[in-house]
């Protein structure tokens, strides 16, 4: 698997959430994602960017366009240095939220992509990586 292109986008404010999903949209279009695939990855990005701002207290998103044996994909890393998540299994449960949200951010984003990984520990921040293949 090769990374073709990559860039870093700050995710620190509500306005950054909009900018993050716009940059994901642009890259998804560039690599030829159809409208449904675009909408899914952009929506997942929106959920995760909001988590980065609200729960992670700000961080960044790195996007990477991938090529693996002829197929193309888009990978997004959301990284923050916030408080981390104590109980990941619970955080991935539909409807569970530590804040005032609907509790669909992580679990919903996971359903919208092909690969989903989360690395987190209390006090060590959170890194969520998602990939959608064309």
58 contributes a contact to other proteins by CB under 8 A:
no
CB of residue 124 vs other proteins: minimum separation in angstroms? 26
- If the CB atoms of residues 79 and 112 are measured against other proteins, the closer one turns out to be 112
Q: Which residue has the tokens 């860039």?
A: 7
Assess contact for 65 and 74: CB atoms under 8 A. Answer: yes
Site string for other proteins, 76-105 (x = CB under 8 A): ------------------x------xx-xx
Query: Alpha carbon 117 to chain centroid distance?
Result: 10
Q: How far apart are CA 130 and CA 113, in angstroms?
A: 7
For 69, left (φ over 0), alpha (ψ -120 to 50), or beta?
A: left
Number of residues that bind other proteins (CB under 8 A): 27
DSSP SS3 for 20: helix
Task: List Cβ neighbours of 29 (8 Å cut-off, separation of 6 or more).
Answer: 38
Q: Which of 15, 69, 70, 89 binds other proteins (CB under 8 A)?
A: 15
CB of residue 69 vs other proteins: minimum separation in angstroms? 26
Name the site residues for other proteins (rule: CB under 8 A): 14-15, 17-18, 21-22, 25, 35-36, 38-40, 42-43, 46-47, 50, 94, 101-102, 104-105, 107-109, 111-112
């Amino acid at each position: 698997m090769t990374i073709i292109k990559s860039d870093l986008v700050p995710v620190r404010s509500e306005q950054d959430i909009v900018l993050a999903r716009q940059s994901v949209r642009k890259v998804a279009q560039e690599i030829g994602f159809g409208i449904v695939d675009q909408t899914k990855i952009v929506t997942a990005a929106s959920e995760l960017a909001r988590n980065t701002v609200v729960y992670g207290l700000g961080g960044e998103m790195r996007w990477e366009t991938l090529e693996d044996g002829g197929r193309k994909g888009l990978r997004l890393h959301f990284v923050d240095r916030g408080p981390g998540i104590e109980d990941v299994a619970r955080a991935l449960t539909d409807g569970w939220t530590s804040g005032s949200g609907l509790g669909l951010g992580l679990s919903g984003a996971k359903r919208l992509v092909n690969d989903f990984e989360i690395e987190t520990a209390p006090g060590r921040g959170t890194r969520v990586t998602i990939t959608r293949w064309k």
